[in-house]
Structure formats: C-alpha cells, structure tokens
Amino acid sequence: MSNIKNKFNVNDRVTTKCLGLPTTGTVVGVVDANLCQPNSPTWNENYPLWQDGYVNYVEFDEPQKQFSFEEFLDLSQDVEFSQSTLKEIYLNSPEVKICLYPEDDLEML
C-alpha cells in the first residue's frame, strides 16, 4: 500500500482537470493505485507518477462519455479503421455514470 495520503475522501465534490470531458461529480470510492492498471496512455502522459498515489471513483452529476474523442483515438491507435468509422464508434459508445481518475486530475469544488 502506498505511504502517500489520498487527497480526497468519499463524498468530496470534485471537478476534473484534463482527462475525459470536463465534468463535476462526487468521489464514491478511493483505491490504492497499485491495485489498478488502467491501460491509458493519457494517464501516463499527463500524470507519469499516478501509480504512486491513489485513484478515485467519481460519480458524475450527469452520465457522459468515458473519454474525450481525442483520448478515444489515442486508445485506438492499433485499430485499423477510418477516422469516420472511429468517430461513429465513439458516438455510439455508451455514456457512463462512474469513472476512475488519478487523484492529480481532480480538484476539490
């Protein structure tokens, strides 16, 4: 378990900084980052030390896409579809109510 104290607690109201779509929500869970292995080049690029801390489950005020379209394209680099096909897949992907964020991508409201 990490020796670093988590910045947020369950029920804290937060907003996101750069991952996913801009949103607000409530922290509904906190997990040591060593227990999570999301395959996200965006996390690693923006927060290279995210695995040294905690990750937070955030329940959005309104359902939304899990990723921005740009993040979706980054995650789809190895897929050989046209840009228009990828856009259609993205637009038809479900919206989610809860998503996982590294603590450094969140700010207290």
Please tell me the distance from the alpha carbon of residue 56 to that of residue 87, in angstroms, as a whole number. 28
What sign does the dihedral 44-47-51-52 (CA atoms) show? positive
- Global pTM exceeds 0.75: yes
With tokens 């190895």, the residue in question is 78
| Confidence band of 102 (pLDDT split at 50, 70, 90) | very high
What sign does the dihedral 59-11-28-68 (CA atoms) show? positive
Q: Residue 58: which H helix or E strand, with range?
A: strand 54-64
Taking the CA atoms of residue 72, residue 74, residue 79 and residue 81 in that order, the dihedral angle to the nearest 10 degrees is 60
Alpha helices in 1-109 (DSSP H): 41-46, 69-75, 83-92
Instruction: Return the higher-pLDDT residue of 39 and 9.
Output: 9
What sign does the dihedral 6-94-92-38 (CA atoms) show? positive
| pLDDT on residue 4 | 60
Q: What is the pLDDT of residues 48-91, one digit of tens each?
A: 999 888 999 999 999 999 889 998 998 888 889 999 999 999 99
CB atoms within 10 A of CB 72: 17
| Confidence band of 3 (pLDDT split at 50, 70, 90) | low
Winning range, highest mean pLDDT, from 4-8, 30-34, 36-40, 94-98: 94-98
Q: What is the pLDDT of residues 7-33, one digit of tens each?
A: 999 999 999 999 988 999 999 999 998
